[in-house]
């Protein structure tokens, strides 16, 4: 599923604006509007998952629904021909994002339900991160493997990525359905109402992790939206090798995931997330200092970036699994699906805002994709958007993460209280 995410953020906006000829502001507006509409869908889907009870499990039926939607959306988006318009792009995004939301929420819900233990959850989400990263590596290898065919033709790149997604989705969902077993779900609570959503924000741990996720999503979305422009036009990286850094980025992420899991168990997940966020900020600044055309620098910086990105992607999910226990103790309800929906909504909200803001800003300053006549001010604006704005957001994310108080000791106390309450309920 992760193979869908980077192309949607990095390649498709540029492809529709540059290759297919849609206006920059229109492309940014469509991505923003569809993403914002998707925000309403996630809590709805999460609440339905919390209330799903079937003999096949609580989350498995949702994987069967989401997979085909992702495939249909990927076909529409990645196989587009010249002459398509805004409505076509909008339809493809709606299908892809709806399917992606369903599958990711089901995956995270299953991950949280596998074990209630603080440290075991770190390991579960580390493995989840590793396999997500493998998908990202494989899809980003496409431009490099077909470099001679691609040259400067982004359409072949996009179609190749699309075929990869279409092949990978049924295989990975099938493996999950066959091998992952769900524990019996707790009894149904009442249907979620508005006060359930607002009540989650009264929980300090939930507010802090959601704020951290918003800042991380904004930083990632802003830098990703101008990634191709920054490196191909300002740093003179050949188009077919743009994916080189992502391959290194995510190879490092695979190695780093167990390390972050161990560090999180030693110093606490919130402190480990702070370290990762600060590392991400340092990476952004160092990338703006890259000498033009230096592919060794471009690829080598993947070590720092990949390690930091691993923490930013993996740890918020693991923390939210623990927050769901704290919420269950306070509210008496298991709202895991709803909490993970809010986490993904927050991340998507940051990315939705970033694409719209960035593309509007680029149009405003007179930046023209692929043109050799961009002004110095326009190119400086791209540098600021790529490096310095995300740096500030990542530093704020690290500060927010540091304020969390859900330590391993506190989580153990929460689990003990939940088990004691269940024991009393079972005897009554």
pLDDT > 70: percent of the chain: 88
**Mean pLDDT score, 105-111:** 78
**372 φ/ψ angles, rounded to the nearest 5 degrees:** -90, 0
Confidence check: pLDDT of 108 > 90: no
Confidence check: pLDDT of 376 > 90: no
- Give the lowest-confidence range in 27-36, 142-151, 221-230, 364-373: 142-151
The per-residue pLDDT of the chain, averaged, comes to 82
CATH 3.40.50.300 fits 2-180+198-417, yes or no: no
Buried b (16+ CB within 10 A) or exposed e, 385-399: bbbebbbebbbbbbe
The pLDDT assigned to 308 comes to: 92
Higher pLDDT pick, 6 / 217: 217
pLDDT tens by residue, 249-298? 778 888 888 899 899 988 999 999 999 999 999 999 999 999 998 988 98
Confidence check: pLDDT of 13 > 70: yes
The pLDDT assigned to 233 comes to: 86
Asked if 219 and 305 touch (Cβ cutoff 8 Å), the reply is no
The pLDDT assigned to 385 comes to: 92
pLDDT tens by residue, 299-358? 888 889 889 988 998 899 889 888 888 888 887 777 777 787 788 788 878 877 887 788
The pLDDT assigned to 133 comes to: 74
Question: Reduced to 3 states, what is the DSSP secondary structure of residue 389?
Answer: helix
Asked if 324 and 417 touch (Cβ cutoff 8 Å), the reply is no
Asked if 222 and 385 touch (Cβ cutoff 8 Å), the reply is yes
**Mean pLDDT score, 152-158:** 69
Calculate helix-pair angle for 243-267, 302-331, nearest 10 degrees.
50
Question: Reduced to 3 states, what is the DSSP secondary structure of residue 326?
Answer: helix
Confidence check: pLDDT of 90 > 90: yes
CA 169 to chain CA mean position, Å: 17
Instruction: Please state, in angstroms and rounded to a whole number, the distance separating the CA atoms of residues 428 and 109.
Output: 29
pLDDT band of 88, cuts 50, 70, 90? very high
Question: Long-range CB contacts (< 8 A, 24+ apart) of 138-142?
Answer: 138/3, 138/164, 138/168, 139/3, 139/6, 139/7, 139/164, 139/165, 140/6, 140/243, 140/246, 140/247, 140/250, 141/243, 141/247, 142/243
The pLDDT assigned to 96 comes to: 92
Size (the chain), residues: 428
Asked if 141 and 119 touch (Cβ cutoff 8 Å), the reply is no
Confidence check: pLDDT of 198 > 90: no
The pLDDT assigned to 63 comes to: 86
pLDDT tens by residue, 53-68? 777 777 788 888 888 9
Question: Long-range CB contacts (< 8 A, 24+ apart) of 51-60?
Answer: 51/188, 51/191, 52/185, 53/185, 53/188, 57/182, 57/185, 58/109, 58/113, 58/182, 58/185, 59/106, 59/107, 59/109, 59/110, 59/113, 59/182, 60/106, 60/177, 60/182
**Mean pLDDT score, 113-140:** 73
Confidence check: pLDDT of 394 > 60: yes
The pLDDT assigned to 346 comes to: 84
Question: Of the ranges 173-177, 369-373, 421-425, which is most confident?
Answer: 173-177
Confidence check: pLDDT of 195 > 70: no
Closest C-alpha among 26, 335, 31 to residue 195:
335
The pLDDT assigned to 17 comes to: 81
pLDDT tens by residue, 16-41? 887 787 887 888 888 888 877 877 78
The pLDDT assigned to 273 comes to: 95
């Amino acid at each position: 599923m992760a193979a869908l995410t980077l192309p949607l953020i990095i390649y498709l906006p540029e492809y529709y604006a540059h290759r297919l000829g849609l206006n920059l502001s229109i492309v940014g507006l469509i991505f923003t509007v569809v993403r914002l509409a998707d925000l309403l869908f996630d809590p709805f889907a999460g609440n339905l998952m919390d209330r799903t009870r079937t003999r096949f499990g609580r989350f498995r039926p949702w994987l069967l629904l989401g997979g085909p939607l992702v495939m249909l959306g990927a076909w529409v988006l990645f196989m587009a021909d010249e002459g398509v318009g805004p409505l076509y792009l909008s339809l493809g995004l709606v299908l892809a994002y709806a399917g992606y939301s369903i599958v990711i929420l089901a995956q995270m819900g299953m991950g949280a339900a596998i074990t209630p233990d603080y440290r075991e959850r770190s390991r579960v989400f580390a493995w989840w991160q590793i396999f997500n990263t493998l998908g990202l590596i494989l899809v980003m290898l496409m431009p490099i493997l077909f470099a001679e065919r691609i040259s400067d033709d982004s359409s072949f790149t996009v179609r190749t990525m699309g075929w990869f997604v279409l092949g990978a989705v049924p295989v990975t969902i099938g493996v999950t359905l066959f091998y992952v077993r769900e524990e019996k779900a707790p009894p149904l609570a009442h249907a979620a109402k508005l006060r359930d959503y607002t009540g989650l924000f009264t929980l300090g741990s939930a507010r802090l992790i959601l704020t951290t996720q918003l800042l991380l999503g904004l930083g990632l979305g802003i830098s990703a939206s101008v990634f191709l422009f920054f490196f191909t036009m300002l740093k003179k990286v050949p188009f077919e090798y743009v994916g080189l850094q992502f391959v290194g980025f995510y190879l490092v992420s695979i190695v780093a995931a167990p390390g972050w899991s161990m560090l999180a168990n030693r110093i606490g997940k919130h402190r480990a997330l702070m370290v990762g966020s600060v590392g991400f900020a340092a990476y952004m600044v160092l990338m703006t200092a890259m000498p033009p055309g230096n592919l060794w620098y471009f690829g080598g910086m993947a070590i720092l970036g990949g390690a930091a990105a691993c923490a930013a992607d993996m740890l918020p999910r693991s923390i939210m699994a623990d927050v769901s226990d704290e919420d269950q103790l306070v509210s008496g309800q298991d709202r895991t699906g709803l909490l993970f929906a809010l986490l993904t909504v927050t991340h998507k909200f940051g990315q939705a805002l970033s694409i719209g803001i960035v593309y509007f800003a680029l149009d405003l300053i007179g930046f023209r994709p692929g043109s050799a006549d961009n002004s110095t001010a326009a190119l400086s604006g791209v540098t600021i958007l790529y490096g310095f704005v995300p740096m500030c957001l990542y530093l704020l994310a690290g500060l927010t993460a540091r304020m969390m108080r859900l330590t391993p000791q506190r989580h153990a106390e929460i689990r003990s209280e939940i088990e004691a309450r269940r024991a009393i309920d079972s005897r009554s």
